[in-house]
Structure 1
């Protein structure tokens, strides 16, 4: 009887021991892993991003250049290029300027050109006239239509003549006016290269002209540095490729002014 009681107690003790082993409390401070991103003690899924070079460029090695040494250790890119200074004796100054209306009249000045060149710049305002032109239509009824436009008057002209004061030998004869066999430029610069005692004549008809004459003070005046000129400048190579011109405006048709049929006289 006593042996059976001891065996029963031993069996009960073993059952209690096994039951206690199955309910173990987790260590304090640890957190069960649930797999969610952002919780302490867990790591979310890792994403790898690959950056590719665009197809329109290729990887390359930078070009290696050597910095030139000018003897002072400074880069050649920092060197200052000296600018050429134009000699003062090549400077031209305005010695004559005048605006005049011409109606079959002539004016003249005299200048002893010792050190050429002489530059004569002119700008003219010709007289305008209204022109009516009759044109027959090429299609349809082939009626005559009148086109009206504005043009320079054929009798409007301006002429510059440079000649020897004594003999009258002409060194330059130019200006504006196709009717006089002159140019069609309303603005130009003329160049005289002859050294002589000059007579410079201006004449015209139905036109307003502004003229300026330029010469070098050095060589043409006894005291070039003691004179006061209103304007001086250096004539560039482009300006020496004379004449400097502004083309005459080409007449344009004005269809809004056209009139059907030739007007009766």
Structure 2
């Protein structure tokens, strides 16, 4: 009887010990693996741990596109300045100043093998004082008035004509002379004419009346002048004219201003 009680008590102690041991949860800190020649440990993130806040957003790679003109929403072109070609440089082959008290003409010829040709001129015309009688006053006074102003003389003009020396076909005809009769010319006292794109033997006439004029003629030395490398030119430049047979570039002359001379008032 006594032995049976001792065995029962011993069995009870063992059962209680196993129950207490089963209530303890095993630790979840790490898992490890051992292998020949190495050892590593993998940390296990505890459940419910807070994540780090992100200050950026995921994005796709940036794609470079054509610049857009903000004025019209169209792709804007990227312009580069081309390097000037020495063979395209034009040089001054003729320069002459003439004063004409009457009608005077200078004529030259040139065999243009490699167009274009440019011609520029500057003139100093005669001026006259014009007196004009006005039936009604423009100064606020009653009655007529007489006005005076300075203007170009109608007999002061300058004309440049370029034609084919063989056929007489005219390639260019222009100059200064707004009051030239019967064929008025421009009001430009300084102008560049051209480019002349017709090759061949050219006849160039410069005719003026009561005017002082300076004329310069420009062509490419390459193809037009024998041994251009050993020639000395007074001036060379690159012209940026449009490719057309006739072009005038100039600054318009200032319009005349009226000056009252006297104001005539009717008698009371």
Give per-residue Cα distances to partners, 1:135-191, cap 9 Å, x unaligned.
Answer: 122587742211111000111110001112233221111111122321111111111
For residue 137 of structure 1, what is the aligned residue in structure 2? 136
Flag structure 2 segments of 5+ consecutive residues without an equivalent.
1-60, 64-78
- TM-score, normalised via structure 1 length: 0.63
Written as runs of structure 1 = structure 2, the 5 A alignment for 1:46-61 is: none
Written as runs of structure 1 = structure 2, the 5 A alignment for 1:19-168 is: 84-102=82-100, 103-137=102-136, 142-168=142-168
SS of the equivalent of 1:166 reads coil
For residue 220 of structure 1, what is the aligned residue in structure 2? 224
SS of the equivalent of 1:244 reads strand
For residue 198 of structure 1, what is the aligned residue in structure 2? 202
For residue 187 of structure 2, what is the aligned residue in structure 1? 184
Structure that is richer in strand per residue = 2
Distance 1:251 1:206, change over 3 A: same
- TM-score, normalised via structure 2 length: 0.62
Name the CA distance, whole Å, in 1 between partners of 2:243 and 2:149: 34
SS of the equivalent of 1:225 reads helix
Name the CA distance, whole Å, in 2 between partners of 1:159 and 1:145: 37
Name the CA distance, whole Å, in 2 between partners of 1:111 and 1:129: 37
Name the CA distance, whole Å, in 2 between partners of 1:135 and 1:176: 29
Name the CA distance, whole Å, in 2 between partners of 1:97 and 1:211: 6
1:242 alignment partner, one of 243, 247, 252? 247
Aligned-residue offset at 1:120: 0.2
Name the CA distance, whole Å, in 2 between partners of 1:105 and 1:197: 23
Contact between 1:134 and 1:146, CA under 8 Å: does it hold in 2? yes
Aligned-residue offset at 1:236: 2.2
2:257 alignment partner, one of 252, 259, 262? 252
